[in-house]
A = this chain, B = another copy of it.
Amino acid sequence: MDVSMLTPAQARSLIRQDQWNKPTSGMSNGYIQANLVVLPKALAYDFLLFCQRNPKPCPLLEVTNIGSPIPEIFAPEADLRTDLPEYYVYKKGELIQKCSSISDLWSESLIAFLIGCSFTFEEALVKNRIPIRHIEERKNVPMYNTSIRCQPAGEFQGSMVVSMRPIKKKDVIRAVQVTSRFPSVHGAPIHIGDPKSIGISQLDEPDFGDPVTIKEDEVPVFWACGVTPQAIAKDRKPDLMITHAPGHMFITNERNEGYSV
C-alpha cells in the first residue's frame, strides 16, 4: 500500500482502526502534520501564552475548545483521542504509558494543542532539491538543547530545543528562502553554522533523535523545534500531559502550501 497517496481521512481511518501503528512520515503527502500536546485547563492559559510568546519553537496551529478532542478548524471530522498512531502519557512529568488511544484518559477538563511540525518545510526543501540527511540515512532528525532562552510565560520557562539539518554551502541561502515561507511551521532557521554559539558542544551527541553525517561541503543549519513546548511543559510536571509519540503525528486536512506566505 502506498500510504503517501491516502487522503488525510483515509490515513486517520487506518490509524483509528489500529491498522497503522508506525510513524506518519510520508503518509498523505502534501498535508500538514501536527505535534500534539494535551494539558489540563488549569495550565492552558499559561501554555497558550507561552506559545504566543515563542512562535518559532511553538507555532500553534489549533487549540481545541475546553473538553473537546475535535480539531474543528484543521479536521472537524477527526478525533484526537484515537487518530494518532501512538501517544505518550505523562504524570507529574514522568512517562508512565505508551498507547494507541487516549479515549479512556480523556476528560472535560482537557485541552488539545496542535503545533506545526517540520515535515511541512522538509517537503518544501526536498521539492527544491535540497536533500534531508536524516531522511536519506533513515534516522530521526538530530535535536539539541541550546542556550537560547525562551520568553517565559506564567508557569512555563526554559530553553529552546533545535533540530539540525546539514545543508550544502551552495544551498544554504535557498534553504533560508524556502523555509521562511512557512512561518506557521517553524519558518526560517534560527542559526547557521557554529553550534557552540548557541550552546551546543557536540553535534555527534544529540540530546534527542540520532546523529547524522555532516559532509565536508556542508554547514549545520538549525531550526526551532516542536519538541520545545513538550520539553517545557514536561518540566512543569503537570498532573497529566499527553503528547504524540515522536514521529507519530496527527494528519490534518489542510495542505502544506495553504500555510505558506
Q: Does A60 contact B (CB under 8 A)?
A: yes
B residues within 8 A CB of A181?
A: 261
A73 and B53 contacting across the interface, CB-CB below 8 Å: yes
Q: Does A247 contact B (CB under 8 A)?
A: no
B residues within 8 A CB of A52?
A: 48, 51-52, 60, 63
Q: Does A180 contact B (CB under 8 A)?
A: yes
B residues within 8 A CB of A45?
A: 44-45, 48
Instruction: State the main secondary structure of chain A at its contact with B.
Output: mixed
Digitize A125-167: 1 where CB-to-B-CB distance is under 8 Å, 0 elsewhere: 0000000000000000000000000010010000000000000
A151 and B183 contacting across the interface, CB-CB below 8 Å: no
Q: Does A3 contact B (CB under 8 A)?
A: no
B residues within 8 A CB of A63?
A: 49, 52-53
Which positions 35-88 of chain A face chain B at CB distance < 8 Å?
44-45, 48-49, 51-53, 60, 62-63, 65-66, 73
What are the 7 A-B residue pairs with the smallest beta carbon separation, nearest first?
A45-B45, A48-B48, A180-B261, A49-B63, A52-B60, A261-B261, A183-B261
